[in-house]
Amino acid sequence: MFESPTPGANVSSFTQEVTAVNAAVAHEAYTGLTASPKTLTPWLFYDEAGSHLFEQITVLPEYYLTRTERALFAAHADEILEAAGGVQPVTLAELGAGTATKTGILLAAAVRRQASVLYQPIDVSETSVEEARENIERNIPGVVVEPQVANYITEPIRIERPHDARVLALYIGSSIGNFAPDEAVAILRNLRGQLQVGDSLLLGTDLAPGGTHNGGKSVASLLAAYDDAQGVTAAFNRNVLVRLNRELGTNFDLDRFRHRARWNPLASRIEMHLESVGPQTVTLPAGAETPAVPMRFAAGETIHTENSYKFTPAMIAAMLKPACFATSRTFMDAQNLFAVTLATAV
Ligand code: AVJ
């Protein structure tokens, strides 16, 4: 899904990076939009405007995920660090760190236990990890930040281990929810390859509605989190079309695609779609190696833009086990909306 393009030779690294991103966007759009059913991959959401819209989503009243996870970190940070480190110092490494806003709670707990903490944020976005470095180093003295720019899906990652330290790897924010079960296991296995027996993983997952583990979440409230009253999530979803219009020269008419959030109970996931309001044709212009393609949409036909998997405790265990992790503690809020699982590499 996250295939990395081969950048051309003899270009500056800036041009090379921009060219590589453009090629990846073109590749994803071409393959996804000529497939049946039509799909786009969720990483396409996160251009500058989309990243800003996502930040707005995290503070919406309907979007309980971010604030619930943050409260779990605040309540259990010391216990998490104690379990991960024991008598040893810890280093924290984070997949998909972004700007690392929630991680500060855990890093603050780590510097209470040891004089200096190495924090290794790993993210595809260089600007995000640089922002993370500035925020963290300014606000939490004692933390040394070593950012790594890498796509952890397609590229190898490298986690450094200062002498005697335990690694506490973070994969939080329900980021793993964007991936199908087999892809999720592959990501955790890749991470596990950098860890030693006894190191830890802290995994943040959104919980499924219903079920015995869950009292407080209805399908209706889950759907509201992905179709908010202010329309921020709708704008976030449609922004992918804005991006394709700008970067690839497609001619999507934004008024003719509706935001749809659906609960798929069999797959245990929220699906986001963009639904064509009537029959229409959109042109995907010719690319370097692809001809111009007319994309025909029937009335009601959708582009499937995102999956957001919702987990039961059994699903979390089933994902960790084949990646050689064993659950040591699970933290949930009083309403069982969100789970933070601390697992040990075995
Ligand atoms: C960033 C993948 C965790 O699935 O909740 C928010 C993205 N999509 N609203 C999620 C998202 C629509 C978010 N993740």
Helices then strands, counting H and E runs in the chain, come out as 9, 14
E strands, 157-199, in order: 166-171
**Per-residue pLDDT at 128:** 85
Encode pLDDT of 165-222 as tens digits: 999 999 999 999 999 999 999 999 999 999 999 999 999 999 999 855 555 799 999 9
Helix, strand, or coil (residue 263): strand
pLDDT at 151: 86
At residue 6, the pLDDT reads 41
- Spatial CA neighbour of 20 closest among 34, 33, 9: 9
b/e string for 224-257 if b means 16 or more Cβ within 10 A?
A: bbbbbeeebbbbbbbbbbbbbeeebebebeeeeb
User: What are the structure tokens assigned to 168, written together?
Assistant: 């506490």
Name the residue among 112, 115, 254, 298 with its Cα closest to residue 104.
112
Nearest protein Cα to ligand 1, atom 1: 175
Ligand 1-lining residues (CB < 6 angstroms): 57, 65, 173-175, 177-178, 226, 233, 236, 306, 308
| Nearest residue by C-alpha to atom 14 in ligand 1 | 175
What would the pLDDT profile of 28-65 be if each residue is shown by its tens digit?
999 999 999 999 999 999 998 998 999 999 999 999 99
Return the residue whose CA atom lies nearest to atom 9 of ligand 1: 226
Per-residue confidence (pLDDT) for residue 11, from 0 to 100: 43
Q: What is the pLDDT of residue 85?
A: 96
CATH code that applies to domain 64-213+328-345: 3.40.50.150
Predicted pLDDT of residue 126: 87
pLDDT at position 10: 40
Low-confidence spans in the chain with pLDDT less than 70: 1-21, 211-215
pLDDT, residue 143, reads 97
Tokens of 23: 């090629």
Assigned token pair, 18: 């921009």
Q: How far apart are CA 96 and CA 130, in angstroms?
A: 13
Distance (Å) from CA 119 to ligand 1 centroid: 24
The count of C-alpha atoms lying within 13 angstroms of the C-alpha of 306, restricted to the half-sphere facing its C-beta, is 25
